Each structure stands twice: as C-alpha cells, then as structure tokens.
Chain A
C-alpha cells in the first residue's frame, strides 16, 4: 500500500454536478456531486481506500478534502477525475499560457488517504478560501 499517489488531474462535467447546480449550489445534490474525486480501481487498491473514503488531493496551488469514488465507466490508471465546482477550484492552477484559460486539466496532483478529515460544505469552503460567505 502506498502513502501517496501521484496522478494526473482531469476536471469536467458530470450529470450529478449538472443536476446539483440547477437545484441550487447549497443543495445536498451539489455537495454530493461535486465534493468527490473519482479513481481507477487499481489506484484505490494502491492507496488502500474504498468508495466513500476521505482523501486529500494536493496540487501546486492548494489542497482539498473530498470523498473518493470508483470511476465506473472504464480504466484510467494514474488519472483522477474531479467534477467542476468549488472543491476542484481549490487545486486548479492560475497559469493561462497568456490565453485566458487557467489550468483545468492535465496537471499533476498527489492524493493521500485522510480518514480523520471532514469534507467541507460549500459555505465552510467559501469561508476557508475567501474569509466570507452568505452568513458572514
């Protein structure tokens, strides 16, 4: 079992994220659909995690706690996928190569199990990242 997994991060749309964002960014569906990271089965075995385990995903730009989930559609060893959303934003990069488009996919991250950590809600995450939310 490995302590840390080095992988390439891809972020993108999922149907759950799409439904969640339309129901409301504060909805349970958005939280469940976005605060998640998808893994190849073989990578989950390497890290010693299973569906629903808490993991920390770290890039050069930040670190975020999300739930792990097995990617159901096929094999993608060495690649992890996160749905678009405020959780993925924490680790997305600001390099645009002078083209306006920041780093959304295809850059390296490290993943490790973080069983004693909690996955922040949207309000908590906004407070952690920007020092304010709709309450304060």
Chain B
C-alpha cells in the first residue's frame, strides 16, 4: 500500500527544504517530488543501499566482525574511559537531541568536543564573535532581497535549491523570480553559438577565442537591469556564475583585498591602483554602485572564503563591508552552512556550554580555543588517544596526514552507512537515518529550528543516535563508578512546560504595580 507524505524536510544541506513529497510503499521510499539531485540520491536510493550497516561491528585480528549491540557498547565505553584525552567529533548530520547527549558524554569523559564547523564555517563563527553579524532569515531574503551576492560559493553544487527556493529564482512577496530572464539569456546564448558555428562553416575562419584571464566579463550596466540582480564572485567560473547577471573571477587567496577595495569604494575613498585581485577598479566600482543602490542586499559566502588565506579575517572584513553598506541601504550577510544541522551543533553546544565548537572538558569545565582544541590541530599534535566520530566522515574530508595520526589510536564510529571513516573503525555502530527513520530538531543555515519528520520504520535492532549515546554514557558511568571515580548525575528528564500561576520569588524582577488612581471618592473614604 502506498502513501504520500507531504512537507517532509530534507536532511542533507543547510537549506533544510521542507516541501518534499515522499511516496512510501511497503515501508520503502519509492518516489519523491521537489527534491534536488542530491536529495533524491539519498532519500530514494542511498538510505537503503548495500552500504547500510545493519549490525554493530568490532575489528578483531584486523577484520570487522559482527557483534551484539551490548558487546559493542561495552567495548566503546571501555575505550573511551581508558583514554586520557579522547576526541568526540562530527555532530553536524545528527539532530539536536543527540548533540545534547554528546555534550554530556564529553563532560563525563573530560574529552575534547568539536564539530564539523571547525573545517567549514568555524572561521565564520569566530568572525561573528569578533564583529557581530547583520543577518536575516531565508524567508526575508526570499521576499525582499533585490541584490544577491554569492561570494566564493557554488550553491548549484552544494545547496542545489538555494537559488530556486530562497533567492533569485523564487517568487517573493515583494520581489519576483528571475527564472524567465535566465531562460531568455540561455536562448540568446544558444542562438549566438549557432550563428558562430554557421559563420565558421561558411567562412572557414576560426572565431576569436576568449582570452584566458582573470579579469571577468566586460562591465555591464548592472544598475539598469530590472528585478533581482545576482552577482557571483569566485576564483573559477561555476554553474552558479553561469546563472548570475554578473561574475567576477578573482585571483586565489585575494578575497580580503577585493572586499577591502569594495569597502573603500563604498565609503567614498580614493584608490590609486588599477586592479585589485585581478579585477579592474572600474568593474569593482560598478559592483559597489550596485550594492549601494539596492534596497535589500545580501552576501552569501562559502568555503572559498573560510578556507583561503586569511581565514576568519576574510569573513570579518566581509561583515565589515555589510556594516558599511548598512549606512547607505539595507544589507545582510550569511554563511552558506553545509551539513543540515551544523548550525544546530553550534547552537546546541553554545547553549549547553557557552561555546559553539572547539571545546575541551579536560579541566572539568568547558574551555574554548580554536587552534588548540579544534580536531585537526589536536590530531596534528597527536595529542588525543581515542576518537569517536558521529555522523561525519573525516576520512573523506580531513587531509590524510591528519587521518594517519587518528589511526594510531582506537576509533569508534557511529554512522548509518559504511562511509570512509566507518571502513576504518575499530568499533563500528549502525544508527538510524535521522529525518527518514526518526524525527528530531535541526537548525537551518539561518538558525531557524525545523523538526525533521519520520517517514519509514528503521530496520530492527538499530538505535537512534540519541538512544545509542545514552547507552554509551550509561556504560561509561558504570565503568567509572566501578573504579570509584566521581560520576556525573544523569540529567533529569525535562517535564513538558505547563503554565503555572505566577508566584513572586526573590530572583524575579519585581513587577511594578500600577499605582491606584486616586479619585475623589477614594480620598473621601481615606
């Protein structure tokens, strides 16, 4: 029997598209609507592929052997308790409820706790701490933004529905979609190519090829284009750049220079150079004019900024540009957060400990220090002596030289499928797919929490991330209690909120009672 579930949330990228229509037959997703290529790959095919882990495994004599859940939990807890300085890393593709237990586990172990943001938008978080951020929700951008700048990111590959759902190709309340104008542009390009080929056949002369350079396209009159405008700045042309009205191809590692030049132009300062980052000053002037003349502008920046030279200083200067632009018009800036709940990992860690990532509990209280407690730095120094990876794949994203240090010590992995890190694990746990097999909370890239839906039943015997972490935590506490070490208290379950009668306590802000109106009548009584 088939049933269709509407408004399913996609658990892949930071867009958290919540308009999927999923058709389920015999407890299997067979069809879906509205999703992108990556979403369909996971929701229709990937989640039930042969790569799925169905039983916990432990590496014995070099080979992964299936074991019972109890044995795997005991082994993992033993490894973590024996370690002096374990690292708990990942957390970006699981739900907030599991992240909360993760913080408790790290505190119990005196571990280092880090999430994937340290290798993606960690610098953005650091820059935000330095200078603040003028931000807006995706809904505001959708309805109001008339200038969209994608800086050093390629949403067509990493957030495939971002342009279609939230920016240039969406019909907002106050701004229309630019889809039709893009189709016209495509048709014009196709006709131009046909004409070129025809003239080549007739004249047998090769048309002049475009010069290979970083100067970008010739200046166009950006300000005269009606409707929403989209500018892409990147070191290479991408499909997103192809869609854009304007593309600036800057030299690698020169983001800081170009943004600083734009700041100068926005604040009416003179620049005595011809080019910045390979871009002629006239072109930059045109971009600055477009930024100043818009009504509601937004800069979305990607990993091209956070991973290039300058790191968090690039983001800091970009936020400063948005701040300068706010003196002329309305401008916001936002990072293109990657994994669907990496923003959630930052939020949950921050409300639990005060800090968003790079945490060290070895002193018994949380310490925040990027560059020291960040996973890559810790592994680079070869300081940790055991690792737990949950809902992440550093074997596919950390440099091999770093991973080689991780492999010197026991490795526990918690992932639904056999990704690269699970292939290397000593204890390999299966888990349910969040957003497909169980519900939970995830934070969208603009920090709006959204509830993921359960669509199908999980295979038997597989726990959710939260359930599994609770079992590991209980086992860790049992081992520590046996050793006579101090054990943290299990956190009491939060009772559902019930509105109670307001009672005045000493910590409450005293409510000033309205002075009684003195009337002639009361005066008389007095």
Contacts and interface: CB of A to CB of B under 8 A. Distances in A.
Contacts of A25: 51, 393, 396, 417-420, 423
Contact of B119 (A101, A133, A136): A101
B377 A98 contact: yes
A106 B395 contact: no
B28 to A, nearest CB: 16
B404 interface: yes
Contacts of B370: 98-100
A133 B38 contact: no
Contacts of B12: 22
Contact of B64 (A84, A103, A129, A134): A134
Interface in B358-384: 358, 370-372, 374-377, 380
B49 interface: yes
Interface in A44-99: 61-62, 71, 73-77, 79, 81, 84-86, 89-90, 92-94, 96-99
Contacts of B355: none
Contact of B236 (A10, A84, A97, A102): A10
A97 B210 CA distance: 38
B500 interface: no
Contacts of A92: 398-400
Interface in A11-26: 12-15, 17-26
Contacts of B241: 73-74
Instruction: Give the interface centre of B50, B374, B380, B395 by most chain A CB atoms within 10 Å.
Output: B395
Given A18-B157, A24-B417, A42-B212, A93 B45 contact: no
Contacts of B38: 15, 18-19, 22
B428 to A, nearest CB: 9
Given A40-B212, A73-B237, A123-B423, A100 B375 contact: yes
A94 B238 CA distance: 27
Contacts of B397: 84, 89
A83 B252 CA distance: 17
B253 interface: yes
A18 B398 contact: no
Contacts of A136: 62-63
B237 A23 contact: no
Interface string B400-428: 11111001000000000111101110000
A27 interface: yes
B307 interface: yes
B400 A89 contact: yes
A90 B404 CA distance: 11
A7 to B, nearest CB: 10
Contact of B376 (A77, A102, A123): A102
Interface string B300-323: 000110111101100000000000
Contact of A133 (B154, B312, B396, B423): B423
Given A18-B38, A75-B212, A12 B395 contact: no
Contacts of B42: 22-23
A102 B308 CA distance: 10
Contacts of A23: 41-42, 45-46, 49
B119 A105 contact: no
Contacts of A85: 396
Nearest to B401: A94
A12 B307 CA distance: 10
B377 A134 contact: no
Instruction: Give the interface centre of B38, B59, B210 by most chain A CB atoms within 10 Å.
Output: B38
Contacts, number: 207
B297 interface: no
A94 B402 contact: yes
A129 B37 contact: no
B239 interface: yes
Contacts of A8: 252
Interface string A23-43: 111110100000000001010
B420 A15 contact: no
A126 interface: yes
Interface in B103-122: 114, 118-119, 122
Interface in B230-248: 235-239, 241-242
Contacts of A40: 212
A57 to B, nearest CB: 13
Nearest to A30: B396
Interface of A: 8, 10, 12-15, 17-27, 29, 40, 42, 61-62, 71, 73-77, 79, 81, 84-86, 89-90, 92-94, 96-106, 122-123, 126, 129-136
Closest 5 CB pairs of A and B: A100-B374, A74-B237, A98-B371, A24-B51, A92-B399
Interface of B: 12, 37-38, 41-42, 45-46, 49-51, 59, 62-64, 114, 118-119, 122-123, 126, 154, 156-158, 160, 210, 212-213, 235-239, 241-242, 249, 252-253, 303-304, 306-309, 311-312, 358, 370-372, 374-377, 380, 393, 395-404, 407, 417-420, 422-424
25 contacts: A10-B304, A22-B41, A24-B49, A24-B417, A26-B50, A27-B51, A61-B401, A89-B396, A98-B377, A99-B122, A99-B312, A100-B119, A100-B358, A100-B374, A100-B376, A101-B123, A104-B303, A106-B253, A122-B423, A129-B400, A130-B404, A130-B407, A132-B62, A134-B418, A134-B423
Given A18-B37, A99-B371, 20 more contacts: A10-B235, A10-B236, A12-B154, A12-B158, A14-B157, A17-B157, A22-B45, A24-B50, A25-B396, A25-B417, A26-B51, A71-B236, A85-B396, A93-B401, A98-B372, A100-B377, A126-B420, A130-B407, A130-B424, A131-B407
